[in-house]
Amino acid sequence: MPHLVLEVDPALWFLLSPRRRSPRFAVEVPGTDTVGHVVRMVGIPPTEVGPLRLDGRPAGLEARPTAAARPGTTPVLDVRPRRRPQPTRHTPPRFLLDVHLRPLARRLRLLGLDAAWEPDAEDAHLVERAAREERVLLTQDRGLLHRGALPEGALVRGEHADDQLADVLERFAPPLAPWTRCLRCGGPLVAASAEEVADQLLPRTRRAYREFSRCTGCGRAYWRGAHARRLDAVVARAEQVLAADPDG
Q: Are residues 179 and 161 in contact, defined by beta-carbon separation less than 8 angstroms? A: no
DSSP class of residue 58? E
Q: Which ranges of the chain have pLDDT less than 70?
A: 68-69, 245-248
What pLDDT, on the 0 to 100 scale, is given for residue 184? 96
The contacts of residue 219 (CB under 8 Å, 6+ apart) are none
Q: Is the peptide bond before 246 cis (omega within 30 degrees of 0)?
A: no
Q: What is the pTM of this model?
A: 0.92
What pLDDT, on the 0 to 100 scale, is given for residue 69? 67
Dist. CA 30–CA 66, nearest whole Å: 8
Task: End-to-end CA distance of the chain: give it in Å, rounded.
Answer: 45
Residues in the chain: 248
Q: Are residues 234 and 166 in contact, defined by beta-carbon separation less than 8 angstroms? A: no
What pLDDT, on the 0 to 100 scale, is given for residue 72? 76
What pLDDT, on the 0 to 100 scale, is given for residue 43? 96
What pLDDT, on the 0 to 100 scale, is given for residue 248? 45
- Strands in 25-28's sheet, in edge-to-edge order, are 25-28, 3-8, 76-81, 49-54, 57-58
What pLDDT, on the 0 to 100 scale, is given for residue 126? 97
Q: What pLDDT, in 10s, does the model give residues 123-172? A: 999 999 999 999 999 999 999 999 989 999 999 999 999 999 999 999 99
Q: Are residues 91 and 114 in contact, defined by beta-carbon separation less than 8 angstroms? A: no
Q: What pLDDT, in 10s, does the model give residues 170-193? A: 999 999 999 999 999 999 999 999
Residue 198 Cα distances to 146, 195, 213, 217, 227, angstroms: 48, 5, 12, 17, 20
